[in-house]
Amino acid sequence: MTKTGLIPDDLLQNIQKGDSILFFGADKPLPYSDAPLSHPQLAQNLARKYGLPLGKNWAETAQNYLNQNPTDRHGLLSFLRAHNSGPQVKPGPIHQAIAAAGFRAIVSAWYDDVLEETLQKAGYRVNQVVRDRQIPFATQGEREVIVVKLYGSLRDPDSLKCSTWDEDDLMGQLNRKLELVNYFWTIRPPLFVGFDLLQEMPRRLYVNASANMEDLMRRTYAIWPDDLTELRAYWQQKNVQFHQSEATTFLQSLATQLSTATSGRAPTRYRVTRAPYKFLDYYDTQDADIFCGRETERQIVTRLALTPPRLLTLFGPSGAGKTSLLLAGVVPNLQAEAYQHVYVRALDDPLPALRKAVAARAGKTDWQVGNDLSAFLQVMLDESDRLLIIMDQFEELFLRVGSRVRQQFFAEVAAVIETPTREVRFLLSLREDYLPHLDEARSVLPDILGHSYRLHPLDRGDARVAITEPAARASVTVAIALVDALVGTEGRDGGVGGDLVEEKGQVPPAVLQIVLHRLYQDALPQGSPADGPPPPGVTLTLDAYRAIQYRRVEDGREILLRGTEAILAEYVSQAIALLPQLQQADGTLLRANPVLARELLKVMVTSQATKAALTQADMAAWLEADGVIQLADEADHLQLTCTRQGLEQVRLVRSFERDGIAYYELAHDYLATEIGSWLDEAEKKTRLARELLQRALDNWHQAELLIQPEILALIQERHTALKRLTEEEVVLLFRSALAVEGSAALWFSRAQALGVDVTAIARKGLIHRNYRNRVAAVAVMIQLGEPFAYDLIPLLVDEYPQVRVAAIHALEQMWPDLGWHQHLVHECYVPAGPFVMGDDTGSDNEKPVHEVDVAAFYIGKYPVTNMAYQRYMDDIGRAWQFPQGREQHPVVNMRWYDARDYAVWAGMRLLTEAEWEKAATWKVDGNNALGLQGNSGEMVPKRTKPQGRKLRYPWGDTFDANRCNTEESGPIDTTSVRDYSSQGDSPFGVADMVGNVWEWTSTLFRNYPYDAADGREDPAGNSNRVLRGGSYINNQSSARGGYRHFYEPDHNDGNYGFRCGVRSVQKFHPNDISSSTK
């Protein structure tokens, strides 16, 4: 390069495009007398004035001053002000050249505000960033510039960075300060002037500014007046092009060439030959020439979309114009920067939709290539491609898609962002009331809410532009008086008045378009086509606006509306009223039906008053379910088609295509709010039920998850309104209902009516990998009856207690003679009847001996083991681990609350102390007798004395250390729950009842006699709970079946465990004896 100041073509062309960034260093003095001092000049002057060491840089010199004067930072700041502010400091040629060059972002190392003052005089609005991320993007426009003050500003003394400690602090802030200008580095080559690139600060600036854009290898230009040999050697590995020149000379040459390049170019003037307003249609890419009033937002969103972290969330209220901003504002900007884009709607699983859109953009058909989204994009895109994926109306993901599908989508997007193999970015656009739903993605996409932009409705100024500029481009006149009437007048305090202005001075774009479209239509000469070129002389006037009237009857009174209120009140009803007059292309009547139109519009609204995208088949199904049409009637189908076409003609409905299928939706979100108000509460609940069912079906497809009980209850509440369900939907409802007590009968009958083989479903469910599905399958077997009882026998040995309990209760009903008890492995049956509780030879709290009547129940054969407890912890998602090799040892260190929670999860409960003692010590003698008793004459057990005898230990009346794990047995540690079985089993076959571990019971400790009704079985009580059975560190006295121990429920110990039980549900068991408590 030469020293003549000629500008590299690439740099010149990029600066001409706008949005360029300048790094303006203070490492070289400015060559004029009234200039602010550079950093070397400041260091030299400060050192000479206070006798500090010479030859140091500015930060070191300032630190030396503070070391010498540790309490006089004010003196240092006074020195800075004296040399960089006041009337003696004036702008010079370099500041004028920078202003003329039109940089949109400047990172300045200067303390003074001379450059900012020069920019302001040149007509720029300056957003000065002094502190960390101080100024947002919210106010930038075409004549605005961001100035990042690296070392602070003299206007804010606390912001100034001077010493080496300050510089260290600044280094830590660089990333966040430069976030505001990363966008400019991304799309344009940056220019460094006045920075000595051999010093640490400019090196750190380069590294920090380019850290997130290394894959782009954006070229950097650097201007330096001295010899470049050492600089080029140092930077040879980086994409930096040096130019040897004085900074002022170079920038003046740049400004001159920019002026020369643009002086012969006529300013861009749009001329359009179509209607200037879009009514309720969104603005598409081809409408960029009439999309006005969003100039600031289109630049902001483009910048944010192209800056880290590669994911931007755009949100705003319904009707704010998000789709229009993206398609008519952002997309043209992307095209100017050689960015490709794909536009995707999340109507169902978003990943296939996204893949198909990208493949179509690449001109390829194999959209299923690659195991995940990252691999797919690597195949579809070249290394030089740059792509923005726009996911619009993203709230549909939460309305139409199940949680598993969403989780998979978020995970694959996160993988693309975290380990990019291609230059791919994402933009999610959604209604702001759905913003909280994005929280479910934050575990994998932490910036999904942080890197976002809220699109507000138009302010008064932008609304004026949206009214007048499209009209001017179409040669249509809008009277200023009309503009003032619609959006008010601007003023210092934000403006006043305006029929369309809502709270905070905002104008909803949808309402504005409705009103403008009506005024434009009224202003057209009779016979002029509404969508044709505007004829000469079309003028929108205040008088015409004021003349619009609409009479509405409310509560028997006629109300006269005018202007905006009249237009908004009548536009939907007027459009529907026009339907009978509409014609087809051949001039014949379309035969659209207004009554059907209202019903059709209602089915195009979700339960949340958002748009629903439907095929015509979907519409027909909904309308039939509502009793409006008959699917078998061809005349109804024809009328539906004609009415839908009519709604398209009057622009209440729009169509789009997805995978070759036509979808239809309301023309605008604003319509969804209006039409949603037509729905009564019952209709809203029916829509919600169908939406929930669709999401549940997605979850079933993804992971075979049943419908959650609370969701099933909402759907079942509207079952009569859900008249047309597919076989797949009914089967899922049937499967899910099986898991909820008392809710299967309805879906069982509907499934049978559809010819579903419910037997096959249930049998397949019995071997399903998910234990909850196995439980659900047991429930249907009960309804199928006794012939299917044998199918349940294998479930009695299932590893999950919930499944065993379900099978036990089902078999009690299907096989009432209890012959299946021989197959019990993990549970033992204890029949109903009285037994003798307590021990007169024991402690006082074991007395008096008394009779207690106990209902039939099942008890776990063994205490709950480590392996069983591990399954529980895994299922509830909590980390837990037991010592290796102790799978069949009883779980220990259990609080009563831990034992209770496990039992609830297992579908069981803790045993009462009476149940525990009966299972451990009672031996039934003889045959039980039955007799008729009671007014109803039903067979019930006779009331009789206890038939059996009480044992001191589970095996008999003599202690035997070989039958249990107590202190006398020797291990002094837990053992496998099977080690002392069967020699130590109780008469009911229960193992390990004494020794090994104490077992929590459900009972609060109270004196005898035992009475379950006296409050001792209160689950909410927080006093001592009873433990039974002794342990490996206790002797034989605590191994007696009548021995009672107790402790606080939140206490645990290395010898505290538990076992569970469950009550029998059979009303009467053969061979059972019951008696009243004595």
Confidence band of 1078 (pLDDT split at 50, 70, 90): very low
Give mean pLDDT, residues 1003-1010. Answer: 97
Confidence band of 927 (pLDDT split at 50, 70, 90): very low
Select the highest-mean-pLDDT range: 124-138, 723-737, 877-891: 877-891
**pLDDT, position 132:** 58
Select the highest-mean-pLDDT range: 232-236, 335-339, 417-421, 962-966: 962-966
List pLDDT tens digits, range 312-343.
999 998 778 999 999 999 999 888 878 899 99
CA dist 650 and 1050 (Å) reads 70
State both tokens at 941: 């057990």
CB 700 within 8 A of CB 604: no
Q: Which of 525-534, 1024-1033, 1047-1056 is the least confident region?
A: 525-534
DSSP codes of every residue in 133-164: T-S-STT--TTEEEEEETT--TTSGGG---SH
**pLDDT, position 932:** 27
Select the highest-mean-pLDDT range: 124-128, 208-212, 899-903: 899-903
Confidence band of 888 (pLDDT split at 50, 70, 90): very high
Displacement of CA 471 from its chain's centroid (Å): 41
CB 484 within 8 A of CB 497: yes
pLDDT at 1072 over 60: no
**pLDDT, position 215:** 42
Query: Which residues have CB under 8 Å from 1011's CB, separation 6+?
Result: 1077
Confidence band of 650 (pLDDT split at 50, 70, 90): confident
Q: Which of 279-283, 811-815, 996-1000 is the least confident region?
A: 279-283
Give mean pLDDT, residues 256-284. Answer: 73
Q: Which domains does the chain have, with CATH numbers?
A: 9-34+91-260 (3.40.50.1220), 306-456 (3.40.50.300), 460-576 (no CATH), 578-679 (1.10.10.10), 827-1063 (3.90.1580.10)
CB 250 within 8 A of CB 258: no
Beta strands in 523-652 (DSSP E): 539-540, 549-554, 557-562
List pLDDT tens digits, range 651-664.
788 888 877 888 99
Give mean pLDDT, residues 876-888. Answer: 94
**pLDDT, position 569:** 72
Beta strands in 483-548 (DSSP E): 506-507, 539-540
List pLDDT tens digits, range 179-229.
667 667 666 778 899 999 888 888 887 776 665 444 444 678 888 988 888
CA dist 130 and 732 (Å) reads 60
CB 856 within 8 A of CB 832: yes
Query: In 3D, which of 434, 407, 415, 399 has the Cα closest to residue 314?
Result: 434
Q: Which of 449-453, 770-774, 895-899, 920-924 is the least confident region?
A: 770-774
**pLDDT, position 506:** 87
What is the enclosing helix (H) or strand (E) of 305? helix 295-305
CA dist 704 and 768 (Å) reads 10
